[in-house]
């Protein structure tokens, strides 16, 4: 089932093309962003919508299309116009090989990576927000600003992605996908085993569940309301399906949509990088190629061991995905 994006009268006006990296999280999106960050032309933004007080943070309608208002859409296009010349506490600030930055940017970026220094700057009135800021003109190479390609990681942003790809030829979507079972194992390890309030969070966000199931023509969310592990797992599979199936539907936009799987990046990051750069129209120079070749998956360097019941998970995956185009990804 697909849903048409809401209609808006506002014309999107990002000055240059930009790339949204999206998916369901716990799927290797950090590595995709790292691949792009090896380019001297990219401005890579990590989870910009999660930055408190940041330009993307207060914009609604990211998850459900009926929550996206006209003012949200206007704010979104404005934030996209400025994204390349802003940074946040979530961004990688150690990538100095950027054509649009001059040599004096290095000590500035190094200083801005220090939380305490940013707090001092806010206290002194030098900065308005310690979490996100504009790059000062003094660190910019003005002759190369037109070359900036913003690459913005926005997980679970399927409504934004739908509206933008339908209305803005400058928008490109990289859909990062990991198979449902390893996704669940990573999710369970990160958000359930290490959390003392997983049931409280489940209850707090349960209002999303009926809306997700209605998208698939179902009206049986109440059976999942009881906060127990099997229900947590099934709800998360539905959430995974909802995000990824809506993004997968954007494949009807050739040249604006690209699917990248976790396993592809694991097997051959250089080959994936070549396809990503070709998709984005970015040159692959020798330094970028070497940097990508030397990338290491430090976040997930060792396999995660969890207490997730694999048999229960496989059964629920098969039930939830039995009529989904995502079923072809199986359990891996």
Question: Is the confidence at residue 60, as pLDDT, over 90?
Answer: yes
Least confident of 52-66, 75-89, 291-305: 291-305
Q: Are strands 18-23 and 86-88 parallel, antiparallel or unpaired?
A: unpaired
Interhelix angle 158-167/229-248, nearest 10 degrees: 10
- Helix (H/G/I), strand (E/B), else coil: 168: coil
Domain ranges of the chain: 18-329
CA 19 to chain centre: 10
Taking only the tens place, the pLDDT of each residue in 115-149 is 999 999 999 999 999 999 999 999 999 999 999 99
Q: Note the pLDDT of residue 11.
A: 39
Q: What is the CA radius of gyration of the chain?
A: 20
Cβ atoms of residues 90 and 46 within 8 Å: yes
Give the mean pLDDT of 238-256.
97
Give the mean pLDDT of 245-265.
96
203 confidence band (pLDDT: 50, 70, 90): confident
CATH architecture classification, 18-329: 3-Layer(aba) Sandwich (3.40)
Q: Note the pLDDT of residue 104.
A: 87
Least confident of 10-19, 78-87, 256-265: 10-19
Give the mean pLDDT of 146-157.
95
pLDDT above 70 covers a percentage of the chain that reads: 90
Give the mean pLDDT of 13-18.
64
Cβ atoms of residues 234 and 224 within 8 Å: yes
Q: Note the pLDDT of residue 308.
A: 87
The pLDDT mean for the chain works out to 89
204 confidence band (pLDDT: 50, 70, 90): confident
5 confidence band (pLDDT: 50, 70, 90): very low
Q: What ranges in the chain are assigned the alpha helix state H?
A: 29-37, 70-82, 105-112, 115-123, 158-167, 180-187, 198-204, 208-215, 229-248, 262-267, 269-280, 286-293, 310-320
Give the mean pLDDT of 68-92.
95
The C-alpha angle with vertex 174 and arms to 135 and 302, in degrees rounded to 5, equals: 90
**What is the distance between the alpha carbons of residues 208 and 238, in angstroms, rounded to a whole number?**
11
Question: Is the confidence at residue 153, as pLDDT, over 80?
Answer: yes
Taking only the tens place, the pLDDT of each residue in 230-243 is 999 999 999 999 99
23: left (phi over 0), alpha (psi -120 to 50) or beta: left
Give the mean pLDDT of 52-74.
94
- Helix (H/G/I), strand (E/B), else coil: 304: coil
**What is the distance between the alpha carbons of residues 241 and 179, in angstroms, rounded to a whole number?**
11
Give the mean pLDDT of 151-179.
96
- Report DSSP state, residue 14: -
Give the mean pLDDT of 176-195.
84
Sequence-separated (6 or more) residues with CB below 8 Å from residue 298: none
Q: Are strands 86-88 and 132-134 parallel, antiparallel or unpaired?
A: antiparallel
Tell which residue, 170, 8, 212, 5, has the closest CA to residue 83. Answer: 170
Tell which residue, 156, 30, 158, 15, has the closest CA to residue 85. Answer: 15
Question: Is the confidence at residue 332, as pLDDT, over 90?
Answer: no
Q: Note the pLDDT of residue 115.
A: 95
Least confident of 5-9, 87-91, 145-149, 244-248: 5-9
Interhelix angle 70-82/158-167, nearest 10 degrees: 80
| Cα within 13 Å of Cα(271), Cβ side | 8
Tokens of 47: 């989870």
């Amino acid at each position: 089932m697909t849903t048409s994006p809401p209609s808006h009268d506002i014309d999107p006006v990002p000055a240059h093309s930009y790339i949204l990296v999206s998916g369901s999280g716990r799927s290797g999106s950090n590595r995709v962003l790292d691949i792009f960050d090896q380019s001297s032309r990219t401005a890579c933004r990590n989870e910009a919508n999660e930055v408190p007080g940041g330009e993307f943070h207060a914009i609604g309608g990211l998850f459900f299309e009926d929550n996206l208002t006209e003012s949200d859409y206007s704010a979104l296009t404005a934030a996209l116009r400025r994204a390349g010349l802003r940074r946040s506490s979530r961004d990688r600030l150690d990538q100095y090989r950027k054509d649009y930055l001059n040599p004096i940017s290095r000590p500035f970026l190094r200083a801005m990576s220090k939380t305490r220094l940013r707090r001092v700057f806010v206290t002194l009135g030098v900065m308005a927000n310690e979490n996100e800021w504009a790059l000062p003109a003094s660190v910019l190479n003005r002759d190369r600003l037109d070359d900036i390609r913003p690459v913005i990681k926005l997980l679970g942003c399927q409504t934004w992605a739908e509206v933008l790809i339908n209305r803005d030829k400058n928008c490109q979507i990289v859909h990062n996908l990991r198979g449902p079972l390893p996704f669940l194992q990573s999710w369970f390890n990160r958000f359930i085993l290490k959390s003392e309030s997983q049931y409280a969070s489940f209850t707090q966000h349960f209002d999303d569940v009926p809306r997700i199931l209605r998208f698939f023509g179902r009206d049986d969310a109440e059976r999942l309301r009881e906060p127990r592990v099997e229900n947590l797992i099934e709800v998360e599979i539905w959430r995974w399906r909802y995000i990824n199936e809506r993004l997968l539907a954007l494949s009807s936009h050739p040249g604006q949509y690209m699917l990248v799987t976790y396993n592809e990046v694991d097997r051959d990051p250089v080959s994936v990088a070549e396809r990503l750069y070709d998709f984005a129209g970015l040159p692959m120079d020798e330094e970028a190629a070497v940097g990508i070749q030397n990338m290491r998956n430090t976040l997930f360097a060792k396999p995660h061991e969890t207490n997730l019941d694999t048999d229960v998970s496989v059964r629920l995956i098969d039930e939830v995905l039995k009529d989904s185009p995502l079923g072809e990804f199986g359990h891996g």
